[in-house]
Amino acid sequence: TFDTAALRAKDAAHHLHPFTDTRSLNAAGARVIVRGEGVRIWDSEGQEIIDGMSGLWCVNLGYGRQDLVDAATHQMQVLPYYNAFFKTTTAPAAELSALLSEIAPPGFEHVFFTNSGSEGNDTVIRLVRRYWDLQGQPQRKILISRHNAYHGSTMAAASLGGMSGMHEQGDLPIPGITHIDQPYQLQHGKPGESEHDFGLRAAGWLEAKILELGADQVAAFIGEPVQGAGGVIIPPASYWPEIQRICDKYGILLVSDEVICGFGRLGHWFGCQHPHINTRPDLITFAKGVTSGYLPLGGVLVGERIARALIEQGGDFNHGFTYSGHPTCCAVAIANVQALRSEGVVQRVATDTAPYLARQFATLADHPLAGDAQSLGMVAGLVLYKDKAARTLFDADLGVGYRCRDNCFKNGVVMRAVEERMIIAPPLVMTHDEIDLMIARIRRSLDDTLAGLRA
Ligand code: PLP
């Protein structure tokens, strides 16, 4: 048993939470999460909650996996830690490197390990600039990203990201990073424009930016296959192939940030392999789902073109972390990937779980508050409309999304609010019954939110 009041008091007195208004958090008190099993978590007061967000998009296999615990325990007993700096490696780091190259798209034979997605994206910046140095084009330094993208919280990763709230704090972006608009039709579409045409027009913003900067100054374009933290923005099918064409045309490196979309979330090992995305990136950033969140691990899968330059042209790559390739984290990642594979989880997402989620989630669009309920793989989002027919949104000051999120928690489901959008990314192992229950709880929360607005 847990002394909830005492834990809340300690938390309020000493714990600064990420991305949280401490004053408003402390007024209500943090909810203390104490246990997880399958797709569910429990708080210290005994409330059961379906984790519609897989923690933070990471607990792909669900909670309570003894095989992952055993992998960590064994490795900690044998060799809890060793580094890869001294011409040394460890068995888990070597094995995981090989395993990742097996599941990665063709042409990805190498990996650089980090602890997080943010560090992975910092590493991307250094890798692409090193690549162009080695190519004798050191002036190619600029990375192009997108407004409202999320690529992490270090100074460089937050600069790559396009969150204005982050840029305002700390004078970001750092030099050499620029942004184009996101492919979000509700925000940027023109009246009467088809989804297909919008996708092509949105991709065209990349070409315009390249021409504005001069192609010989541009190192890379980075994007999430589906923007996650930005609100699960699913681009039109025409978008990514056009981005690929433009990158090819100007010889610009393409980076797929798969921190969310990797490890089966879209029903493929990596999001770029989904037919709706279908790109051939040069670098793939990963984290989160590689260990199902059981331990921190991230990294960059390095495609042939860059790996060959790094290896054949030689010299040190002056970059790395104490915990790059941490053996205990790698051991857990191996167990996680093996389980995803041997239990057919990724395949089942593609053929069964995601299509079922898509059908059930889409029914929420008949709720008077909700519209545009869409999903791709195991990410889904809908829009809260003030007037659905006229497609008008609520005044942001009303905080309707946050009210809905709080109602979701009360009704036993984690759903996240991002501006006008409500989003989920449930564990990949969710059963049909669990999906039904999750959708029912979301529907009840929409009802409660509407009732609250009318009161
Ligand atoms: N990239 C994407 C697409 C993410 O969603 C995140 C985290 O949510 C990151 C990078 C940063 O990863 P981390 O929080 O592990 O640093």
CA of 278 to the centre of ligand 1 (A): 21
State whether the beta carbon of 438 lies less than 6 angstroms from ligand 1.
no
The CA-based angle 16-421-260, given to 5 degrees, is 65
State whether the beta carbon of 257 lies less than 6 angstroms from ligand 1.
yes
What number is the average pLDDT over the span 122-150?
A: 97
Tens-digit pLDDT profile for residues 389-439: 999 999 999 999 999 999 999 999 999 999 999 999 999 999 999 999 999
The pick from 233, 259, 284 for probing ligand 1's pocket by mutation, whose C-beta has the most ligand atoms within 8 angstroms, reads 259
**Is 67-342 in CATH node 3.30.43.10?**
no
State whether the beta carbon of 116 lies less than 6 angstroms from ligand 1.
yes
Residue 314: its pLDDT value, please? 75
Q: What percent of the chain lies above the pLDDT cut of 70? A: 100
State the DSSP H helix or E strand holding residue 424, giving kind and residue range, or none if neither. Answer: strand 421-424
CA 121 to ligand 1: nearest atom? 10
State whether the beta carbon of 260 lies less than 6 angstroms from ligand 1.
yes
The pick from 58, 232, 288, 329 for probing ligand 1's pocket by mutation, whose C-beta has the most ligand atoms within 8 angstroms, reads 288
State whether the beta carbon of 230 lies less than 6 angstroms from ligand 1.
no
pLDDT band at 27 (very low <50, low <70, confident <90, very high): confident
CA of 447 to the centre of ligand 1 (A): 32
CA of 259 to the centre of ligand 1 (A): 6
pLDDT at 387 over 80: yes
Domain boundaries, the chain: 31-64+344-454, 67-342
For the chain, what is the mean pLDDT? 97
State whether the beta carbon of 434 lies less than 6 angstroms from ligand 1.
no
Residue 45: its pLDDT value, please? 96
Residue nearest to atom 12 of ligand 1 (CA): 117
State whether the beta carbon of 229 lies less than 6 angstroms from ligand 1.
yes
Q: What ipTM was reported for this prediction?
A: 0.99
* Residues of the chain by 3-state class (helix, strand, coil), percent to 5: 45, 15, 40
pTM score, whole prediction: 0.98
Determine the Cα–Cα distance for residues 187 and 183; give it in Å rounded to an integer: 9
CA of 4 to the centre of ligand 1 (A): 30
Question: Using alpha carbons only, how large is the chain's radius of gyration in Å?
Answer: 22
Give the number of residues written for the chain.
455
The pick from 53, 58, 125, 151 for probing ligand 1's pocket by mutation, whose C-beta has the most ligand atoms within 8 angstroms, reads 151
Residue 244: its pLDDT value, please? 98
Residues 6+ apart with CB under 8 A from 431: none
pLDDT at 253 over 80: yes
pLDDT at 211 over 90: yes
State whether the beta carbon of 58 lies less than 6 angstroms from ligand 1.
no
State whether the beta carbon of 114 lies less than 6 angstroms from ligand 1.
no
Tens-digit pLDDT profile for residues 288-325: 999 999 999 999 999 999 999 999 997 899 999 999 99
State whether the beta carbon of 228 lies less than 6 angstroms from ligand 1.
yes
Instruction: Report the half-sphere exposure of 413 (CA within 13 A, side-chain side).
Output: 28
DSSP 16: P
State whether the beta carbon of 158 lies less than 6 angstroms from ligand 1.
no
CA 117 to ligand 1: nearest atom? 12
Find out whether the peptide bond into 241 is cis, omega within 30 degrees of 0. no
| Residue appearing with tokens 């997880």 | 36
State whether the beta carbon of 385 lies less than 6 angstroms from ligand 1.
no
What CATH code is assigned to 31-64+344-454? Answer: 3.90.1150.10
Determine the Cα–Cα distance for residues 400 and 126; give it in Å rounded to an integer: 41
Structure tokens, 129: 């600039």
CA of 105 to the centre of ligand 1 (A): 21
Tens-digit pLDDT profile for residues 358-372: 999 999 999 999 999
Residue 81: its pLDDT value, please? 98
CB 111 within 8 A of CB 290: no
CA of 357 to the centre of ligand 1 (A): 24
